[in-house]
């Protein structure tokens, strides 16, 4: 008789997903519109725009390792709610930021709070997800961010074309408040991490044995940062009538891939999934670099979305399995730290390259770097990661894992 799988879609997981969607909506409604605000209203060059936008990543990177320690030692839900409230308050600061310095200060504050809330939110969700359905659950939880990515940029760019920019900030604040209210209703018991160290050491802040995997993920994240910061501006240069469609198609690609990638990962095919997703990212960035007009530009959005939708949950599952239950928060923090580094550097690198030789060359550089990351994973990291993943997935230690 086939053993029934534990229920994934519990009320707690549903509410956690909804809160994640609203948090993502608050973030992504601003992501493609902030560059226009900086360039057109504050008269800032592209190279400087990349630096300003990445300032939140610098702050997040400095705080992220401590967020993992906090989550492992204390209550993930309380950390989540406190950080989310701080994020909403700081997002309100955009309404008062009329200079570059004020803008950077707000971005730095958002980076600090976002580092804690994203680590705590993901850890809380993983605590709720049954261990035998971890890859699938992580995929669906991340799917909420993909949905936010589909709606947020489209809404933000539409509002930018029809209303004063301040309304976009207010929509972002409203979505954040909604996420905070929903997050207060998520029921998740306090998880005492058995085996957590009481003495502070490096492995309490970063998962040391996961650093090679994290560095490889950071290289892949460069392309993602380039897209978030400059895909809309690049689309305008190519003559795209509605650059918000690019982000919608990118999110559609993510949703399609996440619909099956989680089960593929849980089924022991994490290597195959990672290879396929990386290849899709390379192809999509290459298409961006060669796009003569809007058609190939939009098609690239679907392809890169599909690739990132596979690669991100695959890397997150491998990282969490490397950390085990006792270092779950640290593993999640290490994963997000890698994304912080990659996305932030991607924004800066794309801005610098664009100011010299154009955005097409920036996306081509992202494709080449992703090829290098794919080869490194295939030739070096597989032997280190997969044996550990295979022995730890699924982890069935009783109710504490659910």
Residue 275 is predicted with a pLDDT of 94
Q: Is the pLDDT at 385 greater than 50, yes or no?
A: yes
DSSP assignments along 80-110, one per residue: HHHHHHHHHHHHGGGGG--SHHHHHHHHHHH
Residue 68 is predicted with a pLDDT of 74
- Of all helices (H) and strands (E), which one includes residue 219? helix 211-237
Q: How confident is the model at residue 285 (pLDDT cuts 50, 70, 90)?
A: very high
For 2, the token pair is: 């086939």
Residue 391 is predicted with a pLDDT of 39
Could you tell me the sign of the dihedral formed by the alpha carbons of 39, 42, 45, 46, in that order?
Answer: negative
Give the integer Cα–Cα distance in Å for 402 and 397. 9
Q: Length of the chain in residues, anyone?
A: 402
Residue 16 is predicted with a pLDDT of 92
Three-state secondary structure of 136-204? HHHHHHHHHHHHHHHHHHHHHHHHHHHCCCHHHHHHHHHHHHHHHHHHCCCCCCCCCCCCCCCCCCHHH
Give the integer Cα–Cα distance in Å for 265 and 269. 5
Least confident of 22-31, 151-160, 290-299: 151-160
For 54, the token pair is: 């990445």
Q: Is the pLDDT at 294 greater than 90, yes or no?
A: yes
Residue 192 is predicted with a pLDDT of 52
Identify which of 304, 317, 310 has the alpha carbon closest to the alpha carbon of residue 394. Answer: 317
Region 49-77 average pLDDT: 77
For 52, the token pair is: 């300003």
Q: How confident is the model at residue 389 (pLDDT cuts 50, 70, 90)?
A: very low
Query: pLDDT tens digits for 155-208?
Result: 888 898 888 888 999 999 999 999 999 999 987 655 554 444 444 445 566 788
Least confident of 69-83, 198-212, 230-244, 340-354: 198-212
Return the percentage of the chain with pLDDT > 90, whole number: 34
Q: What is the CA radius of gyration of the chain?
A: 20
Count other C-beta atoms under 10 Å from residue 101's C-beta: 9
Q: Are 214 and 61 in contact (CB under 8 A)?
A: no
Question: Which residues fall within 8 angstroms of residue 249, CB to CB, at 6 or more apart?
Answer: 298, 299, 301, 302, 305
Q: What b/e string do you get for 36-50 counting C-beta neighbours within 10 Å, with b at 16 or more?
A: bbbeeeeebebeebb
Query: pLDDT tens digits for 71-99?
Result: 767 677 888 899 999 999 999 998 888 78
CA angle 204, 208, 214 (to 5 degrees): 115
Domains in the chain (CATH in brackets) are 11-187+205-394 (1.20.1250.20)
Residue 199 is predicted with a pLDDT of 47
For 272, the token pair is: 């195959």
SS3 assignment, position 273? helix
Region 43-67 average pLDDT: 77
Q: How confident is the model at residue 48 (pLDDT cuts 50, 70, 90)?
A: confident
Q: Are 102 and 366 in contact (CB under 8 A)?
A: no
CA angle 367, 372, 373 (to 5 degrees): 95
Q: Are 196 and 327 in contact (CB under 8 A)?
A: yes
The residue whose two tokens read 């701080």 is: 86
- Of all helices (H) and strands (E), which one includes residue 239? none
Q: Are 263 and 257 in contact (CB under 8 A)?
A: no
Q: Is the pLDDT at 393 greater than 50, yes or no?
A: no
For 14, the token pair is: 């549903």
Residue 366 is predicted with a pLDDT of 96
Higher pLDDT, 18 or 340: 18
Give the integer Cα–Cα distance in Å for 307 and 253. 8
Question: Which residues fall within 8 angstroms of residue 158, CB to CB, at 6 or more apart?
Answer: 244
Identify which of 44, 156, 24 has the alpha carbon closest to the alpha carbon of residue 103. Answer: 44
Residue 3 is predicted with a pLDDT of 56
Residue 305 is predicted with a pLDDT of 92
Q: Are 165 and 70 in contact (CB under 8 A)?
A: no
Give the integer Cα–Cα distance in Å for 16 and 185. 9
Q: Are 299 and 81 in contact (CB under 8 A)?
A: no
Burial of 35 (0-12, 13-18, 19+ CB in 10 A): buried
Residue 396 is predicted with a pLDDT of 30
Residue 304 is predicted with a pLDDT of 96
Query: pLDDT tens digits for 101-159?
Result: 888 899 899 989 988 888 888 888 888 888 778 777 877 887 787 778 778 878 888 89
Give the integer Cα–Cα distance in Å for 15 and 36. 34
Give the integer Cα–Cα distance in Å for 383 and 385. 6
Q: Are 116 and 79 in contact (CB under 8 A)?
A: yes
Residue 179 is predicted with a pLDDT of 94
Residue 402 is predicted with a pLDDT of 32
Region 40-68 average pLDDT: 77
């Amino acid at each position: 008789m086939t053993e029934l799988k534990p229920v994934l879609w519990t009320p707690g997981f549903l509410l956690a997903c909804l809160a994640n969607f609203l948090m993502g909506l608050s973030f992504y409604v601003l992501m493609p519109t902030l560059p226009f605000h900086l360039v057109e209203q504050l008269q800032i060059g592209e190279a400087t725009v990349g630096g300003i936008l990445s300032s939140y990543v610098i702050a997040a990177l400095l705080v992220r390792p401590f967020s993992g320690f906090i989550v492992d030692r204390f209550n993930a839900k309380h950390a989540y709610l406190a950080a989310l409230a701080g994020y909403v308050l700081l997002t309100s600061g955009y309404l008062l930021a009329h200079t570059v310095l004020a803008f950077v200060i707000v971005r730095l504050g958002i980076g600090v709070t976002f580092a804690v809330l994203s680590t705590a939110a993901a850890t809380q969700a993983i605590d709720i997800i049954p261990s035998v359905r971890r890859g699938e659950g992580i995929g669906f939880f991340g799917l909420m961010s993909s949905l936010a990515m589909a709606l947020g940029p489209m809404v933000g760019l539409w509002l930018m074309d029809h209303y004063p920019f301040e309304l976009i900030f207010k929509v972002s604040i409203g979505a954040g408040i909604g996420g905070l209210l929903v997050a207060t209703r998520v029921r998740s018991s306090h998880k005492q991490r058995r085996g957590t160290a009481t003495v502070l050491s490096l492995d309490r802040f970063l998962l040391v044995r996961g650093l090679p995997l994290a560095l490889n993920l950071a290289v892949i994240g460069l392309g993602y940062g380039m897209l978030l910061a400059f895909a809309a501006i690049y689309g305008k240069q190519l003559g795209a009538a509605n650059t918000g469609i690019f982000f919608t198609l990118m999110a559609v690609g993510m949703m399609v891939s996440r619909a099956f990638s989680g089960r593929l990962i849980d089924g022991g095919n994490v290597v195959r999934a990672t290879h396929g997703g990386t290849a899709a990212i390379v192809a999509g960035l290459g298409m961006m670099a060669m796009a003569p007009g809007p058609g190939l530009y939009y098609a690239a959005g679907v392809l890169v979305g599909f690739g990132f939708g596979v690669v991100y949950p695959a890397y997150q599952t491998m990282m969490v399995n490397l950390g085990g239950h006792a270092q779950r928060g640290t593993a999640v923090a290490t994963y997000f730290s890698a994304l912080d580094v990659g996305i932030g550097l991607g924004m800066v690198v794309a801005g610098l390259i664009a100011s010299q030789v154009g955005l097409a060359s920036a996306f081509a550089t992202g494709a080449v770097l992703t090829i290098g990351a794919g080869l490194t994973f295939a030739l070096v990291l597989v032997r280190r990661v997969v044996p550990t993943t295979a022995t730890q997935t699924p982890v069935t230690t009783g109710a504490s894992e659910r």
